[in-house]
Amino acid sequence: MNVAKLLMAQPIRMTCSFGRLMRTESKSVHNVLQKNENTMSNKNLVPINYIKESNSNKHFLWLPDVFNYWLKVPQDTLQVIREALDYVLHGVVLLDDVQDGTQFRRNLPSAHRIYGTPWAANASTFCFMAALKKIADLGNPEAVDNFCQEMMSALDGIALDLYWRDAFICPTENEYMEMVKLKNSFFTLNLRIIQSFSKDRRTYSDLMNTYGVYYQIRDEYANLVNVKGLDTKSHEQEFKNLHEVMFCEDITEGRFTFPMIHGLNSSEGPTIRSILVQRTSDIRIKQHCLSLLEKVGSLDYTRRTLHDLDADLREQIHQLGGNPVFLAYLDELSNWK
């Protein structure tokens, strides 16, 4: 069934596709930021508005409408929450690029490479505070408490991920799963804030934990097998350079991702470890590492895990009474198959 038809029953502005619907909703968020450009906060908005051009992690902004199929929060309240979550999203993007030393966000140079690390970090902090203020202005203490709890959990997860990377400590798969559940509290934050204004008080924690793990592993798998968001109309040499930088970025960053943890515990583990510790940008070495992961079955293991998580998510949605909007959203995410 067409996603737009599914959404016609929802009290939100209609467009002909799920992605276009969310872009329409985000225009009002952008307008809110634009209105603030004449205030003393305008300097913080410079890196924020720049990174918005990358259209990064747009799936995060689709979630309010996915969850509101169940939660039935009034649209005026939901719109303020969208605006707050837009700030959170771009604060996370700015912070993530600084922490990972990311060279490009899609086909744009990362904000900290344009405006400097101090400015980008300050803008990230501004985003989180601006989001908190928007939630506080709604006058619901439960929403504020949920925001703070989930933000702190997410930052705890990020700290653990960074500690393992920088101390070069490979976690077990179970330790990785627990870290991901913390780190992806950004998604749980989305639901819990909306639920603060809803009569629906069911527990969605199992669903959100499964979704967070699925989204993280999907992102890590895509990082190894697909270079996303490059403008293929760029000059051929420029495209080649971008491809070399963005190809298997997680290897360059030395990250202990789900497929990498599997590979490090295989017969080729010592070689993979030697490559990972170098944080190399050499595309030939990264291609060799990728071939080793394929050889020992790490990529196949990751694909099977994603398939199982996708099936688990759909079953949990069914047990919660069904949500055609969520199912359509999962279909949008299934391009790894």
Of 76-90, 134-148, 236-250, the range with the lowest mean pLDDT is 236-250
Q: Which pLDDT belongs to residue 337?
A: 80
- At 246 the pLDDT is 67
The pLDDT of residue 132 is: 97
| pLDDT higher than threshold 60 for residue 164 | yes
Q: Is the pLDDT of residue 57 over 70?
A: no
105 three-state secondary structure: strand
Q: Compute the mean pLDDT over every residue in the chain, rounded to the nearest whole number.
A: 85
Separation CA 236–CA 242 (nearest Å): 10
Mean local confidence (pLDDT), 262-277: 97
pLDDT category of residue 247 using cuts at 50, 70 and 90: confident
**Stretch 165-187: mean pLDDT:** 95
Residue 305 pLDDT grade (very low, low, confident, very high; cuts 50, 70, 90):
very high
What is the pLDDT at residue 41? Answer: 52
Bridge-based pairing state of the strands 108-109 and 104-105: antiparallel
pLDDT beyond 50 at 157:
yes
Output the six-digit token pair for 26.
């985000």
Residue of 327 and 21 predicted with greater confidence? 327
What is the CATH number assigned to the segment(s) 203-332?
1.10.600.10
- DSSP for 178-198 reads HHHHHHTHHHHHHHHHHHTT-
The domain segmentation of the chain, as residue ranges, is 15-200, 203-332
**Mean per-residue pLDDT for 212-227?**
89
Checking if the pLDDT of 298 tops 90, the result is yes
Tell me if 302 sits within 8 A of 223, measured CB to CB: no
What percentage of residues in the chain have a pLDDT greater than 90? Answer: 69
Q: What is the pLDDT of residue 53?
A: 83
21: pLDDT strictly greater than 80: no
Range from 9-18, 32-41, 239-248 that averages highest in pLDDT: 239-248
- Which pLDDT belongs to residue 106? 73
Confidence (pLDDT) at 215: 94
What is the average per-residue pLDDT within 80-109?
A: 90
Q: What is the 3-class SS of 263-296, one letter each residue?
A: HHCCCCHHHHHHHHHHCCCCHHHHHHHHHHHHHC
The residues, any chain, with a CB within 8 Å of residue 166's CB and separated by 6 or more, are: none
- The residues, any chain, with a CB within 8 Å of residue 167's CB and separated by 6 or more, are none
CATH superfamily of 15-200: Farnesyl Diphosphate Synthase (1.10.600.10)
The answer to whether residue 231 scores a pLDDT higher than 70 is no
The per-residue pLDDT for 59 is 72
Q: Exposed e or buried b for every residue in 306-337, given b needs 16+ CB within 10 A?
A: beebbebbeebbeeeeebebbbbbbeebeebe
Per-residue pLDDT band for 226 (boundaries 50, 70, 90) equals confident
Q: How confident is the model at residue 39 (pLDDT cuts 50, 70, 90)?
A: low
* Fold match between domain 15-200 and domain 203-332: yes
Q: With contact defined as beta carbons under 8 Å apart, do 230 and 242 qualify?
A: yes
Residue 229 in this model has a pLDDT that exceeds 80? no
